[in-house]
Amino acid sequence: MLEAMFGWRDAKTSKVYTRNADRARLARQTVARINWDGVGTKLLAIEEKAEETEAANG
């Protein structure tokens, strides 16, 4: 069906298109599900902890 709509001659083209469209859709859904509250502060705490460990280990 996509081949006829877009004038594609090869079925591979529609497979590539739909695969990429599915990936993009799944990525958007995943990002929408992430709870972003406090992510920055959590990342900073992890980074600070790593720096403290490096300093202690010399």
Quick: pLDDT tens for 27-41: 999 988 887 776 666
Distance CA 37, CA 28 (A): 18
**What is the sign, positive or negative, of the torsion defined by CA atoms of 37, 38, 40, 46?**
negative
pLDDT of residue 23: 96
This prediction has a pTM of 0.52
Cβ-based neighbours of 36, under 8 Å, separated by 6 or more? none
Asked if residue 13 lies in contact with residue 1, where contact means CB atoms within 8 angstroms, the answer is no
pLDDT of residue 34: 82
